[in-house]
Amino acid sequence: MKIKNFVIISHIDHGKSTLADRFLEITGTIKKDKMKPQYLDSMDLEREKGITIKMTPVRMEYFSRKGEKMILNLIDTPGHIDFNYEVSRSLAAVEGAILLVDATKGIQAQTITNLDLAKKEGLAIIPAINKIDSPQARTEEVKKEIREFLEFKSEEIFSISAKTGENVASFLEEAAERVESAEDNSEKPLRALIFDSKYDSFLGVVSYVRIVDGSIKANDKIYFINSEAQGAVKELGVFKPGMIPVSELRSGEIGYIATGIKDPEKIRIGDTIVLAGEENSVESLPGYKNPEPKIFVSLYPKEQDDFELLKTALSKLKLNDSALFFEQQNFHVFGRGFLCGFLGSLHTEITMERLKREFGLELVISSPQVLFKAEDGKGKEVFIYNPINWSESFKNFSEPWAEVRIIIGSSYLGRVFEFINSLEGKHIDSRPFGENRYFLIYEMPLREIIGKFYENLLNITQGFASLTFKEIGYRKADLVKLEILINGKKEEAFSRILPQSKVNVEARKMVEKLKDVLPKQSFSVPIQGKIGGKIISRETLKATRKDVTAPLYGGDYTRKKKLLEKQKEGKKKLREKGEVRIPPEVFLKVFGS
């Protein structure tokens, strides 16, 4: 029986999950009375946000019009730029890709990026225009865009409506025809590629795999080439779309292996599973690189008693999120916590929300920062993840830059130019993109992109903008460490690493913000921004006032003056000896702003 493995890729909200729903109906994998929208989006967060976060595999049995029975393994992938690593992992496990483009929105920046990834893997690409039933559909115009900018022929492009099912059956038939069948290498020694994993309290680590060579059965002893871990197959099966046990998985199939391993750190995405005893005679699969985090935040449990729970939670999330990086760090203000790395702001937001919902954790989160590089006093390259590991001996700084691709409506071109020119960066190209749209390419520091760049861009264009970016290496940077002093004491939690050109503005913003959110003390509190030995910004939090002369009725003015002088002297001593305790909500307000 032929096995066809393929994915659906597109920009966010172009209808991937809805198309997957129609495929499940057409193939009879899910009965109509049990069908629900976004069937493969199992997480509450996915349904609430209307986006796919996790890749989801499903096995469908399909009869072609010629009466030929085949197995179709589909992987529904995310569309947001922060989850590109999910797309790249799924592409390594398939032979074909459906490229979906929204008829109302046309090609978006992420569409181009996903197509480039699929081409690099040498996959068969089947383009389709979705949402042709919409009153706002620009089907012919979008088809022209796909021909001109993605270089497909008209006869290769399908027009469908995943919502109504129009042309979907014939499209699935065509896709099944164009995608190459998986090679049957069942006679070779076992090699299985891990493209995802999850943790099960009974089965241990469950690895999602593509069987590239050989076959595997229940109770087989297995070996993980890169991590050098060993286990035994507790259960194996396929996705229909739930986990259905089978007795054997053979070459070309996609399924799962319950390893029985309880330690999540022993399983790595991209590793190769072989049969125990054959590890020295079988080469590992090339797989793909684990993605490198682009932004870092410090993460602490509000209650220190939850530290071990946070550690366990991060380990379990990393099983099916290979881009998540974390390592323990201690900080006197918060106690024990973790330095965590993410691929972007949405990736950070989703992870924080999962920690809260799935594990009941309340967290304190620092401001995000990119990974800077420098040379130490001995000329050795060092990495700066956050201000804590900054040293005044560091020199020759560099920071990551990215190529940013933006597609916008032509009417917003002037405002977008003005916005981007206010940031650090370099204009590379701008040209018309279809009718009434423009395609822009810029190079800029990654730190300019990771914050509210996209949010601001959407505001300027009233939501009509798409963005994608890729790192293009490190470039020289003039960096300084901004320190915040509260009542003369350095509060490392508020320290930031900034370019010299922006530090004065940011220092003023920080001390003004702290003045607004810090609780008042019984003495005045100076709040200062400092670089090296120089104070560059200052605000004073005024003391709470108490009228010490209130009990006096009439009498000599000198008595009132003495009481006021005594109060002033007392506040001076309090300021000299006093310690300003900063409640956790202050950090939340500052970091969340």
2-178 classified as CATH 3.30.450.40 = no
pTM of the predicted model as reported, rounded to 2 decimal places: 0.72
pLDDT score at 156: 93
Whether residue 173 is predicted with pLDDT greater than 60 in this model: the reply is: yes
485-533 pLDDT per residue, tens: 988 888 887 888 999 999 999 999 989 998 988 888 777 889 999 998 8
Which residues, 6+ apart, have CB-to-CB distance to 373 below 8 Å? 381, 382, 383, 384, 397, 398, 399, 474
Closest C-alpha to 115, from 128, 104, 103, 105: 128
Whether residue 547 is predicted with pLDDT greater than 70 in this model: the reply is: no
The residue type at 374 = A
Q: How confident is the model at residue 537 (pLDDT cuts 50, 70, 90)?
A: very high
Q: How confident is the model at residue 33 (pLDDT cuts 50, 70, 90)?
A: low
81-96 pLDDT per residue, tens: 545 555 677 788 899 9
pLDDT score at 254: 94
Distances (CA, A) of 191 to 15, 197, 211, 260, 493: 34, 17, 6, 19, 47
- Look at 427 and 552; give whichever has higher pLDDT: 427
Helical axes 84-91 vs 109-120, angle rounded to 10°: 30
CATH topology of domain 191-275: Elongation Factor Tu (Ef-tu); domain 3 (2.40.30)
184-197 pLDDT per residue, tens: 999 999 999 988 88
pLDDT score at 332: 60
Q: Where are the alpha helices (DSSP H) in 336-410?
A: 345-359
pLDDT score at 564: 56
pLDDT score at 520: 83
- Look at 374 and 288; give whichever has higher pLDDT: 374
Q: Judging by DSSP bridges, how do beta strands 525-531 and 534-541 pair with one another?
A: antiparallel
295-367 classified as CATH 3.30.70.870 = yes
- Look at 571 and 367; give whichever has higher pLDDT: 367
392-402 pLDDT per residue, tens: 899 999 999 99
pLDDT score at 46: 39
pLDDT score at 222: 95
Whether residue 41 is predicted with pLDDT greater than 50 in this model: the reply is: no
Domains 295-367 and 395-476 share a fold: yes
Cβ atoms of 378 and 394 closer than 8 Å: no
User: What DSSP state is assigned to residue 423?
Assistant: S
* Mean pLDDT (the chain, rounded): 83
216-237 pLDDT per residue, tens: 999 999 999 888 899 999 999 9
- Superfamily for the 480-591 domain: Elongation factor 4, C-terminal domain (3.30.70.2570)
- What are the boundaries of each domain within the chain? 2-178, 191-275, 295-367, 395-476, 480-591
Whether residue 175 is predicted with pLDDT greater than 90 in this model: the reply is: yes
Q: Which CATH class is domain 395-476?
A: alpha beta
451-484 pLDDT per residue, tens: 778 888 989 998 888 888 888 999 999 999 999 8
pLDDT score at 15: 85
